[in-house]
Amino acid sequence: MPALVLLGAQWGDEGKGKATDLLGGSVDYVVRYQGGNNAGHTVVVGDQKYALHLLPSGILSPGCTPVIGNGVVVDPSVLLSELSGLDERGVDTSKLLISGNAHLITPYHTTLDKVSERFLGKRKIGTTGRGIGPAYADKINRVGIRVQDLFDESILRQKVEAALDHKNQVLAKLYNRRAIAVDQVVEELLGYADPLRGYVSDTTLLLNNAIDQGQVVLFEGGQGTLLDVDHGTYPFVTSSNPTAGGACTGTGVGPTKINRVIGILKAYTTRVGAGPFPTELLDEDGEKLRTIGGERGVTTGRDRRCGWFDAVIARYATRVNGLTDFFLTKLDVLTGWERIPVCVAYEIDGKRVEELPYSQTDFHHAKPIYETLPGWSEDITQAKTFDELPKNAQKYVQALEEMSGAPISAIGVGPGRDETIQINSFL
């Protein structure tokens, strides 16, 4: 099993960090392939809790080499502070590798993210304000700055000048903000060159060689399927491809080398930021899910919007990612509900619709059609096998599996590494 992808099947925060960490001990490389420090992955190891934003969750497993692929956007100041935070806690970060082709998030990207959201007013996306969208926009517009540019001062200066020529016009004339000085940006960026130099390498060559030699590579997605810029609820999405294809473009590893694609699926649904969310609960059930599930953003501290499980979305995630397995997380959060509604289809303009509509307008009009399943009240956090779950919890998992189109191979019953029921091995 040389290469597998692990990604979010919903709108992010499904528990990817925990799932990656769980596999970290058995894989040789964990690779982030897209996104940046908009991600917030919480990993609980024993009594220690780690919040990772940019670093792959595999960094917590001593035998594993963490890699930041070319598809990631890197804020160097965040990267260095995350590394020093882990160093202080005794985590060995020396094995980290960073693609020289990854793009940088500079201070002007962060500024532009914030001012453009303010400018959008009611129509804002609710971004994390980390400069993600503007950095990817520059990449596609061919005016981005890459990690390798840090090591050539003259190229770096030319590129920053070219980018700021345009951006300063926008900042001053459109947003009424002060222009940003080229020297200041170049000086700041050059300051990152020495601390980062030792981590930068040809990660594409290295990962392909590793796979060819039978080493195990895990690609870790940020965000989730419905936040994908192509397959998500556009425009309320992030600016990259968390879906499985992103693992190929974001690392330079071809699709024929990937054997397994695992979708991380929460036993209910959450979303942060603006955009449609058919099963959202604005009542006390929503509040209860938020409180019991601890649904508050790791990156921005915003409350997550909460709702019931949506099987239409799970089926969609199976399709667009070619999922081979699901890892169902946070089943323990549903303990105590007498009955648990699950969305099996939508009603759109009076018609029953089984699949996610491609039309944005239809999706905005989608009303969930629920089937209600019986709940359970027994504590499940100590369960180690499927058979140890209460009958109704078993039925809930089986019903979700039938509706979602791929086997549920693991179940999370708590945030810790060992609070997992493994049904089929991932490796």
Specify the residue, 41 or 146, whose C-beta has the smaller distance to ligand GDP. Answer: 41
Q: Restricting to residues 95-124, name those near Mg ion by CB under 5 A.
A: none
Partner touching 238 among ligand IMO, Mg ion, ligand GDP, none, CB below 5 to 8 Å by kind: ligand IMO
The 222-241 contact track toward ligand IMO, x by CB under 6 A, reads xxx--x----------xx--
Tell me which H or E stretch contains 88.
Answer: helix 76-88
Q: Choose, from 21, 41, 75, 310, the residue flagged as catalytic.
A: 41
Q: Angle between the 182-197 and 153-169 helix axes, to the nearest 10 degrees?
A: 140
Work out how close the CB of 87 gets to ligand GDP at its nearest, in angstroms, rounded to a whole number.
22
Helix locations, 126-201, DSSP H = 132-140, 153-169, 182-197
Residue 40 interacts with ligand IMO (CB under 6 A): yes or no:
yes
The answer to whether 4 and 426 are in contact (CB under 8 A) is yes
Which x/- pattern, by CB under 6 A, does the window 280-309 give for ligand GDP? --------------x---x-----------
Kindly indicate which of the ranges 99-107, 124-132, 307-315, 409-417 contains the residues binding ligand GDP, using the contact rule CB under 6 A. Answer: 409-417
- The helix/strand/coil state of 251 is coil
Instruction: Give the C-alpha separation, 47 to 65, whole Å.
Output: 23
Q: How many whole angstroms separate alpha carbon 366 and alpha carbon 310?
A: 12
Looking from the CA of 88 toward its CB, the CA atoms found within 13 Å total 7
* Partner that binds at residue 18, options Mg ion, ligand GDP, ligand IMO, none, CB closer than 5 to 8 Å by kind: ligand GDP
To which H or E segment does residue 396 belong? helix 391-404
Amino acid letter, residue 33: Y
Q: How far is the CB of 311 from ligand GDP (least distance, A)?
A: 19
Binding partner of residue 415 among ligand GDP, ligand IMO, Mg ion, none, CB cut-off 5 to 8 Å per kind: ligand GDP
Q: Are 397 and 306 in contact (CB under 8 A)?
A: no
Q: State which residue, 23 or 156, has the beta carbon closest to ligand IMO.
A: 23
Stretch that binds ligand GDP, among 11-19, 59-67, 207-215, 279-287 (CB under 6 A): 11-19
Give 65's strand partners.
29
User: What's the CA gap between 236 and 276, in Å, rounded?
Assistant: 8
Per the rule left: phi > 0, alpha: psi between -120 and 50, beta: everything else, 156 is: alpha
Position among 10, 34, 38, 42 found at the interface with ligand GDP (CB under 6 A) = 42
Could you give the CA distance from residue 60 to residue 78 in angstroms, rounded to a whole number? 18
Tell me the per-residue interface mask from 114 to 133 with ligand IMO, x by CB under 6 A, - otherwise. Answer: -----------xxxx-x-xx
CA distances from 337 to 287, 289, 372, 377, 408 (A): 13, 10, 11, 7, 22
Under the binding rule (CB under 6 A), the answer on residue 415 touching ligand GDP is yes
Chosen residue from 3, 4, 13, 180 binding ligand IMO by CB under 6 A = 13
Annotation marks residue 103 as catalytic:
no
Q: Which residues are catalytic?
A: 13, 41, 139
**Chain residues that interact with ligand GDP, rule: CB under 6 A:** 8, 12-18, 39-42, 44, 294, 298, 329-330, 332-333, 412-415
